[in-house]
Structure 1
Amino acid sequence: MIDILSTIHDWLFKGWESIWRVLFVGVLAYLGLLIFLRISGKRTLSKMNAFDLVVTVALGSTLSTIIVSRQTGVADGLMAMAVLIALQYGVAWLSVRWTWFRHRVKSEPTLLFHQGEYLRMSMRRERVTEDEVLSAIRSSGGARPETVTAVVLETDGSFTVIQSNDSARATSLQNVQRLTADGSRQAC
């Protein structure tokens, strides 16, 4: 019985040294991350596409590892964060300057539903079901698919629903891709 209580105690409390380490290292790592984010700008934590989301999750995971893992020093962890931020900055910088690079690393928005018609090839390619399109329509306040001009799967994985009465927003479909019968992509 005493062994069980001792084991439970060790699971819950490793000692004051461990607590003080987490507090000290956590503050240092957090301040380091704030400085890096301030230097690198708002785009570092944006969720404009899947690549941005992966970098955000990786930064959070790295911060957690620095704080909790005794094997990772603050300097090692901050260097890992700096590398991730620098790579994300580099990819964003190149994407803004060269279209060919942007097309290699970033996806394009995809039209899934247009003027009452489910675009099945696009849905299959993006692995989206009819139920998910209907859910997006409901989430946007739509009662029926007939009241919707388009449903777009954005580059960050979110759905955009363009209501039929939003004729001014219809021009926002200009960079959205649609799959043709032969499987090629064409702009709307």
Structure 2
Amino acid sequence: MNPYLDIVIRSVAVYLFMVIALRIFGKKQLSQLNTADVILILLISNSVQNAMVGSNTSLYGGMVAALALFVVNFIFKRIMLKSTFIKDLVQDTPEILIHDGKIAFQTIAKLGISNEELQEAMREHGVEFYKDVKLAMFEIDGSISIISGEKNLRQTHHKRKIHKTLGNINN
């Protein structure tokens, strides 16, 4: 087999494996990377390098692997735009955290969002009390968007931060 075709096949296989692994292990946490996440990404990239290029450590081998990853990512995104089945399989749906001032405790616990984290998002959106939140959503990219009942809506964007000292909501 052509060594460069072998690199393309290996790279596509690693890409698909990573898509599945991120789906299983929670890509939502990638919206804000902490130190452990960065270390994990660096170690994963190092561990799959040989799986993609094999013994070919040449410049061309690396460029072929990178090109294959760019192409498969482009194609995969196009497929997700056209196929709702694939999109639903790979991508989570937004989750309602608060609706008309009522907190969805089961959803918040399932997602591992702390009370402090939710309050931080509310403050960033200019909302002080839960009762003033018309809708709070946990978006597919890991951000929390909040719509208040006020007429003067602020447009801000809160990225979820994962930190070891944050726990689940217990109340």
Higher RCO, 1 vs 2 (CA within 8 Å, ≥6 residues apart): 2
Task: Say if 1:151 and 1:160, in contact at 8 Å, map to a contact too.
Answer: yes
Partner of 1:135: 120
Residue 159 of structure 1 pairs with residue 159 of structure 2: no
Q: Unpaired segments of 5 or more residues in structure 1? A: 1-49, 66-70, 169-188
Q: Distance in 2 between matches of 1:117 and 1:73?
A: 58
Q: Distance in 1 between matches of 2:62 and 2:112?
A: 36
Question: What are the superposed Cα offsets for residues 55-84 of structure 1, whole Å, 9 maximum, x if unpaired?
Answer: xx97xx69xx9xxxxx95432332222222
With the length of structure 2 as denominator, give the TM-score of the two structures: 0.53
Distance 1:76 1:88, change over 3 A: same
Amino acid in the other structure paired with 2:115 = E
1:74-107, CA deviations, whole angstroms, 9 ceiling, x for partnerless residues?
A: 3233222222222221221111111111110111
Deviation at residue 143 of structure 1 after TM alignment: 2.2
| Partner residue of 1:121 out of 103, 106, 109 | 106
CA distance in 2, matches of 1:84, 1:142: 42
More helix by share: 1
Percent of residue pairs bearing the same amino acid type: 21
Q: 1:165 to 1:72 in 2, by over 3 A?
A: farther
Runs of 4+ off more than 6 Å: none
How many residues align? The count is 109
CA contact (8 A) 1:133 1:151 kept: no
1:166 positional shift? 5.5
Q: Which residue of 2 aligns with 1:90?
A: 75
Listed as ranges, the gaps of 5+ residues in structure 2 are 1-26, 32-37, 50-55, 154-171
